[in-house]
Amino acid sequence: MASPHHFTRFAAIDWSGAKGVRHPGIAVALCEAGDGAPRLIVPPGRVWSREEVLEWVTAQADAPMLIGFDFSFSAPFLSRGAHLPGETQGDDARALWAHVDAASVDPDLGAAGFIDARRGTHFYLGAADGAKADFLHWRACEVAHDGSTKPSTVFDAIGAAQVAKASFAGMRLLHRLNGRVPIWPFDPLPDHGACIVEIYTAIAARAAGARRGRSKLRDAASLDTALAALGSQPHAPIARYTDHATDALLTAAWLRRAADQAALWRPPAMCAEIARAEGWTFGIA
Instruction: Summarize pLDDT for 188-219 with one digit per residue, the tens.
Output: 999 999 999 999 998 999 898 876 655 577 78
* 160 vs 22: which has the higher pLDDT: 22
- Single-letter amino acid code for the residue at 266: R
- Over residues 87-134, the pLDDT tens digits come to 999 999 999 999 999 999 999 999 999 999 999 999 999 999 999 999
Q: What pLDDT, on a 0 to 100 scale, did the predictor assign at position 45?
A: 86
Q: Phi, psi at residue 181, to the nearest 5°?
A: -140, 130
CA distance to 50, 76, 93, 202, per residue, from 143 (Å): 29, 11, 19, 15
Q: What average pLDDT does the chain have? A: 92
How far apart are the C-alpha atoms of 93 and 77, rounded to whole Å?
A: 9
Asked if 260 and 10 touch (Cβ cutoff 8 Å), the reply is: no
CA 163-159-146 angle, 5° bins: 40
Average pLDDT of span 63-74: 97
Average pLDDT over residues 241-270: 95
- CA dihedral of residues 193, 199, 202, 208 (deg, nearest 10): -20
Per-residue confidence (pLDDT) for residue 143, from 0 to 100: 86
Specify whether the CB–CB gap between 115 and 165 falls below 8 A: yes
pLDDT higher than 50, residue 264: yes
| pLDDT at residue number 217 | 75
Residue 256 confidence (pLDDT) above 90 = yes
Q: What is the pLDDT of residue 150?
A: 57
Q: How far apart are CA 160 and CA 124, in angstroms?
A: 13
Domain boundaries, the chain: 4-73+178-265, 93-172
Lowest mean pLDDT among 35-39, 142-146, 176-180, 265-269: 142-146
User: pLDDT higher for 69 or 221?
Assistant: 69
pLDDT grade for 2, boundaries at 50, 70 and 90: very low
